[in-house]
Amino acid sequence: MTPAFVYSALPMRVRFGAGSLAGLPDEVAGLGLSRVLVLCSPEQQATGQLVADALGSRAAGVLPGARMHVPIETAQAARDSARRLGADGCVAVGGGSAVGLGKAVALTHGLPVIAVPTTYAGSEMTPIWGLTEGGVKRTGRDPRVLPVSVLYDPALTVSLPPGLSATSGINAIAHAVEGLYAPDASPIISLMAEEGVRALAAALPAVVADGTDLDARGDAQYGAWLCGAVLGATTMSLHHKLCHALGGALDLPHAQTHTVVLPHALAYNAPAAPRAVAALARALGGAGDPAHALWALAGRLGAPRSLRELGMPEAAVGRIVDLAIGSPYANPRPVTRDGVTALLRAAWAGEPPAAG
Ligand code: NAD
């Protein structure tokens, strides 16, 4: 039986394919924009400049100021630059940090954002913004920050190092996992989630083996697109809550933290989410427990599998548990102190996830 559901489509245009960056000037012109500010992180300044050069006179400038979790100071600097340069839109080139900076400008200035993603984080497909002030990250949903147009060019991802390719890809898979058991899941989103996990799990070993393999890069980015769309359409649960707490309280790296926690969070929720488990088992090759399959995938990719190796002190487990159980949120299985403590201890030590 198909359960009742509500599905809202998000208005957005996607251009996909190797070489599609060449279509960016048309994309900008088609939106009626004539002075866009290019945003990127300092490490990707050369890519940002490449994009600005391709845009010619339609580029108002390049601001290489994006930082993880969008510190308020960087948001303010980007807003000031946009105003000073008379920008009528932003092109955010990079990972979730660059896209997040574009969203911060859109939030206050209402400028349209065109996203050119170079990681698999998925922010480009969501109306979710984040801003960090005084060490505290606030997030919210606002239709104004949803990029109007997204250009996926796998050629821009070949420089993503193997380690970050693996963890960023598993970060994307995490969106699909939680979308499959979300309170606002819907049949079309579940199809996208299953296909996104299948595409990424199949592509990531090839991407890590040879980062210049454009076919594998394209398959991984296709999966990341689908998983990002799932993130944009559904409400996340325990896994994302835990990663948010670990990132915010301990400054652990984003994609790596997702990679370590995901098998454990899925194992915790699996008994209460049989449809999600069946979809993930299909996506991951049909056999066995999907939580264990994801843990094994991380191992095969050489990705971290313990919070200890990410620098988390064991003594911090209690604090993270407090944060994760502090306020109520939707989760398929009741979130208990004992349950989350056991989950985090296993993730900290790098043990395999609990058997389902
Ligand atoms: P990131 O954007 O910080 O990128 C990580 C590093 O990789 C940076 O140094 C960057 O310059 C570099 N990099 C990116 N692409 C590269 C490439 N192709 N080649 C070489 N280097 C490259 O990290 P991320 O994991 O993409 O994004 C994480 C941030 O995004 C977090 O702040 C997270 O909270 C946010 N996020 C938000 C949403 C949302 O919906 N709002 C969704 C996912 C992530």
Query: Which segments of the chain belong to CATH 1.20.1090.10?
Result: 163-349
Query: Which segments of the chain belong to CATH 3.40.50.1970?
Result: 13-157
Q: Based on the number of CB atoms within 10 Å of its own CB, is 11 exposed (0-12), middle (13-18) or buried (19 or more)?
A: exposed
Beta pairing, strands 128-133 & 113-117 = unpaired
Please report, in tens digits, the pLDDT of each residue of the chain (356 residues total): 888 999 989 999 999 999 999 999 999 999 999 999 999 999 999 999 999 999 999 999 999 999 999 999 999 999 999 999 999 999 999 999 999 999 999 999 999 999 999 999 999 999 999 999 887 888 999 999 999 999 999 999 999 999 999 999 999 999 999 999 999 999 999 999 999 999 999 999 999 999 999 999 999 999 999 999 999 999 999 999 999 999 988 989 999 999 999 999 999 999 999 999 999 999 999 768 999 999 999 999 999 999 999 999 999 999 999 999 988 899 999 999 999 999 999 999 999 999 75
Joined together, the tokens standing for residue 301 give: 């990719």
What CATH number is given for 163-349 in this structure?
Answer: 1.20.1090.10
Is residue 104 within 8 A of residue 78, CB to CB? The reply is yes
Q: Kindly report whether the global pTM for this prediction surpasses the value 0.95.
A: yes
Which of 44, 137, 246 gets mutated to test ligand 1 (max ligand atoms within 8 A of its CB)? 44
Report the nearest-CA residue for atom 15 of ligand 1: 118
What CATH number is given for 13-157 in this structure?
Answer: 3.40.50.1970
pLDDT confidence of residue 356? 59
Question: How far is residue 160 from each of residues 21, 69, 127, 188, 289, measured CA to CA in Å?
Answer: 17, 19, 25, 30, 30
Ligand 1 atom index nearest CA of 139? 41
Rounded distance between C-alpha atoms, residue 291 and residue 196, angstroms? 16
Distance 10 CA to ligand 1 centre (A): 22
Distance 288 CA to ligand 1 centre (A): 32
